[in-house]
Structure 1
Amino acid sequence: MKDKTLSLSDLLHVFFPETKDLEISSGEYKVLFIFDGLDECRLSLNFKSKVKLCDISESASVDGLLINLIEGNLLPSALIWITSRPAAADLVPSQCVHRVTEVRGFNEPQKEEYFRKRISDQSLANTIITHLKSSRSLHIMCHIPVFCWISATVLEEMLSEAERGEIPKTLTQMYTHFLLIQTNIKHEKDYEKRLKDEDMILKLGKLAYRQLVKGNLIFYEEDLRECGIDVTEASVYSGLCTQIFREELGLYQGKVFCFVHLSIQEHLAAVYAHIYFTNENRNVFDKTKQSFFTKIPNQKKYHSLSELHQRAVDEALPSKNGHLDLFLRFLLGLSLESNRTLLRELLTQTGSCSYNKEETVQNIKQKIRENRSPERSINLFHCLNELGDDSLMQEIQDYLTSGKIRGTKLSSSQWLRGCGVTDEGCAALTSALRSNPSHLRKLDLSWNKVGDSGVKQLSDLLQDPHCKL
């Protein structure tokens, strides 16, 4: 409704006809508005706008109504509850926000509880839990319930059958196996035999990529048409791949579509970017009107996959909300031969191009050394993990054991986050920090297995007035 002009009372009457008989501005009623998914809103919410509305019968653009409602100009006594990913929540000025609650997903015990409840065979559940714990990147992701569901789907099938290739140890392997399983389910449904996997995956991938870079999670008819998908075709996709692509009924727009989870959109976007490069030697980041199926004259040709990776890293790093972080991890992971083999099971026409993994690794290491954002650095570490490269971690371990660390200035990428510090390690750490003088000012112990005694030792240390940490 971004092009509509109407009043707040008219807007409410469209969606909630029963409000026609209620004088909601009279103060007789307590009103609560729930905006579920501010990050999915395509209206440009400009809170610096000078348009002030106080009367619910006064007409304005829909984004103007939302802004004035959130700012408390319209219906100042109304309560407003907004759900959103953190980056979009920051759009709302802090003076308009009275309380913030963060939903963090599963904690450590709940991760295990999920698999024990989801999988009836407890021996298999134990095997899956043990496998996930053996991979730090997978275990960390298990705080996201949808990732637990995807992992359970993949590992239950792979571990309960005869050995079928390498059990996924990275994020990219897990999601690519999940995509394979879903296309196999499509075959079982035997729906529309003329519908090829290649066409469906490439069209959905193109949609996923184009909307991801725009920050869109809900798609309308015009978005589909841009990628060569009509509404009927999209309905078929959602009927075949119910665990990937979903059709929903929008209140005003009729049918709308989305991927079941943002991470699935990010994976398909990476698959599209990888295939577009290897098949066509073209880069999705080139700002030209491009079609996967038509060649554009005089468009730059690329020769090494490392060029795509370097460009993707450069595009992802400046992002304020990290919207390309997971996409980047998937894109890099797809370059490994094991994942390219999986892709060949999905797509018969997968091209090849030269690739120097070491070039990509060195570029990422350099970015880690230059980058000042901890969030981006952490994601780049995960990128190295997707590439199967632990050389930087090894460098850090060598520093720690060499005895030469005294005169070394660590970059933010080398602070101690997620590197296996336990209670025993905390005792040594506390002792070192009590040394006179200890120059350490900042320490990140997230994702370490520090128990009560370790926490107590560090707490006692922090209470010491001489401690600079």
Structure 2
Amino acid sequence: MGEELVACDEKGTAPQNWQLPSESFLLFLQKHRVQLVEDLGDCIDCIAERGLQENFLSKDDYEEIVYERGPRNQVRKLLDIICCLGEEHARFFCTISKQIKSTNSKKQVTKNNEYPKLIQKHKDVLLRRNEYIKYYNSRHGEKYCFSDHFVNLLLVNGHYTLEIKKNELLTFGQQRIHLQNKKETKLDLRSDQLLQKLHERCAPKRILVSGVAGIGKSVFVQKILYDFANKKAYSKFDFALNLTFRDLNLINKPTTLREIICKKHGHLSQILDEIFNNSEKLLMIFDGFDEFRFCSQVDLDQYVFDPDERAELPQIFSSLLKGELLPEASIVVTSRPTVLSHIPVDCIDRFVVITGFSGLEIEDYFQKFYRDNVKGTETFGYVSENHFLFTLCYIPAFCWIVCSVLNESSALHIEQPKTMTDIYCHYLVVLLKYHTRQVDSTKHEAMLNAIIGLGQLAYNSLLQHKTLFYGHDSEIINELPNDIVNSFLDNTFVQELDCTENVLSFTHLTIQEFFAAFYYAYEVNLSYDIMDTKVQEKLNIGSGHLDLFIRFLSGLLSVRNQSIFQKHLRLNGSEKVESYTLWLIECLNKSCEKGYFILNLLHCFFEQQRSCLVRRIKPAVLRLNMSDSIFSPIDLDVLTYFLGHVDMDIEELDLTATHVNAHYLTELLPYLNRCKQLWVGENNLDLEAIKVICKVLASPDCKMKQLGLGWTELEDNGFLMIYRALKYNQSLEGLWVEGNCISYTAVEEFSEIPSFNSTLKYAVLLGNELKPDDLTALATKPHRRVIVAQIDNDFGQEFWKGWWDWIFQRCKMCNDEKIVAFLTKVYRGLGLCLGKNTGWMGEWYIELDNFLQERIMNCSINNIKKRIETLKQMFLEQSTNL
């Protein structure tokens, strides 16, 4: 019956003909069932339809077959039915299967000849779709060639090891600098190296590309597709398919991978089988995982194995990502860092962070934006001298906003921007003046109502944690003038079977928060007051989610921006200026006294740019807690601005786990002499940073009593630098250097410190590189009492209780991911600590065990939950060795 359906028997030989007289057709089907399932999957639809037409199958039989998930399951079901129907049906089945397979083989030959042409056709389609780069708010008809306007983005190997606790755009700054400046390994990665193997490892197949909003993830995807279509890179692939989660959100019923692809790449429908069969030549890109409405449901243990198997969308995506579906295909996923914890990272081969523009790339962007070398150079020169603006410009979306504002604001005679809100206020005025058809339309009440309507959309969406809006969902959008919609909203049309779906979003996430703040500032009758803590609890608005909103609100209610709106938008002053000012002063005083996290309030104070407010800031003590917020240059600006205005002794400055470095400490040097407690632990401090701290300690004006340098990678050189600086210090009482890399040799020298310093009472060295013999030797030193190298009863339970309370308090402040990172360091410190002969330490472990168990029960992210469970077991085993 031909070779198309011939299958190998158990001995590896193939029967020459199905109609061998020695066996029946039924026996043949039973004997070669496994191979038939493999061979007939690509033509099961045709076989089933032919069987129905020839009355060889009943309608019930046919429906049972086609409702099976996947072609292999359908072949299995058909074979089961044939075996029940008898020998004659088996003969008929073999006959029509041979005919259909023969026909398909001839078609396949034709397909093989056409295959190169279809590859080129696909590249032509991609080139047409990606030859122009889209600038935010481009005027109608404006087009910019991608090759002429693309500016390189810096990519680094690595990923976010800590949560982005506060607004991701504003906390990413220092981490970005840390990644870009890291010298111990080459991290830079060109876009064409994304799927190439580095060193001797095999090429990665599952790549996660992360970056904050506006950093250029979608443009990076466009770069991949553009280079692939132009044959500049990714030559090992025949096809590159891109899908956005924004479009996938419109799928609300079970589907198949084939259907998903055909929605956007319908021109490939006839050769998808060929593409699937050669999946090692396939690159699939999924853009915008953070916008996926099912992002929390992808870490599943239920898999799809066939492109034609019908399943829910998260199941299909999860199967692709984990290599259960098309395991040889290469998958690239882009996402903002806020939802990375939902991705099953065990299946990711390479983590890449887009860190935006460097200084040279910012300059390149200005030149390409203005298309005028003189103006581009002049404007870049102004921005590079403005530390605040230049820092913002590492984010491409901000870079575009700054360029747009500076390009046209001079004609409006507006003072140059000083804060982030200033830039956005100018941006609003510029777009209303120059990007709407009616230049004077801002004078009309209708235009103001439209802006308020846009603000209402932004505000209500912020309450609901929404960033995407669908045309059929919002009456507000339908009531807005097209000019307003086109200026501030991105519009995507997605073709469905029976309609075209309209999907909108603000051109940038920060613009949504700006408009939300604008609405709050000027709307009298709010449905919900988002500043009310009870409302925040009701709407599940967590800590840090409103940081940028409140900063924008502070800037909008400042005197200078109120004046701008009155002049250019004919907008009356807000009635909330004084009430907001009272709230800000009250919060600043309270946070300073209690030591609450204060960085966002300092940003709000900076946004006001009113030095007269300082007279109303009168806390009893000044405690500034910045911990666990990755410090950026802008954060440094607002901190020094505040300390420069508030002339008080600093009771406590907590910079734990902020990535501070020598540069930041140098900028803070004028204020550190009036600081009594300084905590800079969990930062990787080099010798330059330690030199700055030593300069403070050696100053005759130093008031520091407690210094925390735990888990800072401190080594002997740095530790002995501190030792020598303490020869000139008469204020420090406690030095905390636990969890570092200090050897016995350095500790032995340091133990002589009581001979010349009478104020230092203890130096805590838990978890350093000390062996049992070292501890014994230290015990014989005449000045050993200042060295605290193990947990014992010498310093008493109360002393150690204070240390443990501090650790436990940190845990309560951290989210689950941060807890794992922090407690792993604590575990190492306790594990390296010898001589734990105290009965009361057992109470710590019981308290910690209960705490971790509660976190495990409330953790909804599987991979983090497993890590906490592992950590809990580690501490349990450690406690048994007390």
Match of 1:412 in 2: 655
Q: Which amino acid aligns with 2:255?
A: L
- Structure 1, residues 158-180: CA drift from partner, whole Å, max 9, x if none? 34x4x824322111111011101
- Separation in structure 1 between the aligned mates of residue 640 and residue 536 of structure 2, nearest angstrom: 20
Match of 1:305 in 2: none
Match of 2:454 in 1: 204
SS at match of 1:246: strand
The match for 2:433 among 173, 176, 184 is 184
The match for 2:603 among 364, 374, 382 is 382
**Is residue 332 from structure 1 mapped to residue 554 from structure 2 by the alignment?**
yes
Match of 1:441 in 2: 709
SS at match of 2:477: coil
The match for 2:339 among 65, 88, 93 is 88
Match of 2:230 in 1: none
Displacement of 1:65 after TM fit? 1.6
- Structure 1, residues 249-303: CA drift from partner, whole Å, max 9, x if none? 2254533222222222221121112222xx33x36446xxxxxxxxxxxxxxxxx
Q: Which moved more, 1:348-357 or 1:138-147?
A: 348-357
- Separation in structure 2 between the aligned mates of residue 215 and residue 174 of structure 1, nearest angstrom: 25
Displacement of 1:364 after TM fit? 4.4
Match of 2:472 in 1: 222
The equivalences for 1:299-318 within 5 A come to: 308=531
**Is residue 430 from structure 1 mapped to residue 691 from structure 2 by the alignment?**
yes
| CA shift in 2, pair 1:90/1:380, >3 Å | farther
Match of 1:57 in 2: 308
Q: Is the 8 A contact 1:309 1:332 kept in 2?
A: no
- Structure 1, residues 15-55: CA drift from partner, whole Å, max 9, x if none? 32314433244346522211111112223541354533223
Match of 1:421 in 2: 666
Q: Is the 8 A contact 2:306 2:325 kept in 1?
A: yes
- Separation in structure 2 between the aligned mates of residue 107 and residue 460 of structure 1, nearest angstrom: 37
The match for 2:272 among 22, 32, 56 is 22
Name the count of aligned residue pairs.
Answer: 416
SS at match of 1:257: strand
- Separation in structure 2 between the aligned mates of residue 318 and residue 370 of structure 1, nearest angstrom: 23
Q: Is the 8 A contact 1:38 1:84 kept in 2?
A: yes
**Is residue 352 from structure 1 mapped to residue 575 from structure 2 by the alignment?**
yes
Displacement of 1:238 after TM fit? 3.6
| CA shift in 2, pair 1:76/1:356, >3 Å | closer
Q: Which moved more, 1:211-220 or 1:93-102?
A: 211-220
SS at match of 2:504: strand
- Structure 1, residues 354-375: CA drift from partner, whole Å, max 9, x if none? 42515313414645776887xx
Percent of aligned pairs with the same amino acid: 24
**Is residue 363 from structure 1 mapped to residue 587 from structure 2 by the alignment?**
yes
SS at match of 2:326: coil
Q: Is the 8 A contact 2:294 2:314 kept in 1?
A: yes
| CA shift in 2, pair 1:139/1:104, >3 Å | same
Q: Which has the higher contact order (CA 8 A, sep 6+)?
A: 1
Displacement of 1:419 after TM fit? 4.8
The equivalences for 1:39-50 within 5 A come to: 39-50=290-301
**Is residue 266 from structure 1 mapped to residue 480 from structure 2 by the alignment?**
no
Q: Which amino acid aligns with 1:89?
A: L
SS at match of 2:490: strand
Q: Is the 8 A contact 1:13 1:20 kept in 2?
A: no
- Separation in structure 2 between the aligned mates of residue 28 and residue 132 of structure 1, nearest angstrom: 48
Q: Which amino acid aligns with 1:387?
A: Q
Displacement of 1:126 after TM fit? 4.4
- Structure 1, residues 106-153: CA drift from partner, whole Å, max 9, x if none? 2234334544554547488547644664453x3322211221222222
Q: Which moved more, 1:80-89 or 1:67-76?
A: 67-76
SS at match of 1:59: coil
| CA shift in 2, pair 1:124/1:10, >3 Å | closer
| CA shift in 2, pair 1:113/1:389, >3 Å | farther
Match of 1:140 in 2: 391
Q: Is the 8 A contact 2:436 2:483 kept in 1?
A: no
Match of 2:564 in 1: 342
Displacement of 1:222 after TM fit? 3.0
| CA shift in 2, pair 1:394/1:262, >3 Å | closer
**Is residue 250 from structure 1 mapped to residue 494 from structure 2 by the alignment?**
yes
Q: Which amino acid aligns with 2:286?
A: F
- Separation in structure 1 between the aligned mates of residue 359 and residue 710 of structure 2, nearest angstrom: 25
Structure 2 residue runs of 5 or longer lacking an equivalent are 1-249, 615-638, 671-686, 699-704, 722-739, 748-764, 769-882
- Structure 1, residues 417-436: CA drift from partner, whole Å, max 9, x if none? 77573799986951644979
Displacement of 1:86 after TM fit? 0.9
Displacement of 1:215 after TM fit? 4.0
| CA shift in 2, pair 1:142/1:359, >3 Å | same
Q: Which amino acid aligns with 1:250?
A: V
- Separation in structure 1 between the aligned mates of residue 652 and residue 414 of structure 2, nearest angstrom: 43
SS at match of 2:561: helix
| CA shift in 2, pair 1:316/1:86, >3 Å | farther
- Separation in structure 2 between the aligned mates of residue 275 and residue 101 of structure 1, nearest angstrom: 42
| CA shift in 2, pair 1:179/1:398, >3 Å | closer
Q: Is the 8 A contact 1:2 1:61 kept in 2?
A: no
| CA shift in 2, pair 1:370/1:151, >3 Å | farther
| CA shift in 2, pair 1:398/1:43, >3 Å | closer
Q: Which amino acid aligns with 2:272?
A: L
Question: TM-score if structure 1 supplies the norm length?
Answer: 0.72
- Structure 1, residues 362-405: CA drift from partner, whole Å, max 9, x if none? 414645776887xxx54443233113367664675699x99x77
| CA shift in 2, pair 1:248/1:458, >3 Å | farther
Q: Which moved more, 1:185-194 or 1:85-94?
A: 185-194
- Separation in structure 2 between the aligned mates of residue 458 and residue 214 of structure 1, nearest angstrom: 50
- Structure 1, residues 78-110: CA drift from partner, whole Å, max 9, x if none? 221011111123320221222111111122343
- Separation in structure 2 between the aligned mates of residue 122 and residue 420 of structure 1, nearest angstrom: 38
Q: Which amino acid aligns with 1:421?
A: T
Question: TM-score if structure 2 supplies the norm length?
Answer: 0.41
Match of 1:37 in 2: 288
Q: Which amino acid aligns with 2:546?
A: L
Q: Which amino acid aligns with 1:12?
A: I
SS at match of 1:222: coil
- Structure 1, residues 305-346: CA drift from partner, whole Å, max 9, x if none? xxx4878998999747x5533222112211212222333343
- Separation in structure 2 between the aligned mates of residue 458 and residue 398 of structure 1, nearest angstrom: 33
| CA shift in 2, pair 1:29/1:128, >3 Å | closer
Q: Is the 8 A contact 1:197 1:346 kept in 2?
A: no
Q: Which moved more, 1:338-347 or 1:84-93?
A: 338-347
| CA shift in 2, pair 1:92/1:187, >3 Å | closer
Match of 2:238 in 1: none
Q: Is the 8 A contact 1:219 1:257 kept in 2?
A: yes
- Separation in structure 2 between the aligned mates of residue 133 and residue 32 of structure 1, nearest angstrom: 43
| CA shift in 2, pair 1:394/1:203, >3 Å | closer
**Is residue 78 from structure 1 mapped to residue 329 from structure 2 by the alignment?**
yes
| CA shift in 2, pair 1:414/1:188, >3 Å | same
The equivalences for 1:107-126 within 5 A come to: 107-115=358-366, 118-119=369-370, 120=372, 122=374, 126=378
| CA shift in 2, pair 1:106/1:389, >3 Å | farther
Match of 2:253 in 1: 4
The match for 2:356 among 96, 100, 105 is 105
**Is residue 151 from structure 1 mapped to residue 384 from structure 2 by the alignment?**
no
- Separation in structure 2 between the aligned mates of residue 459 and residue 145 of structure 1, nearest angstrom: 41
- Separation in structure 2 between the aligned mates of residue 365 and residue 323 of structure 1, nearest angstrom: 22
- Separation in structure 2 between the aligned mates of residue 67 and residue 170 of structure 1, nearest angstrom: 43
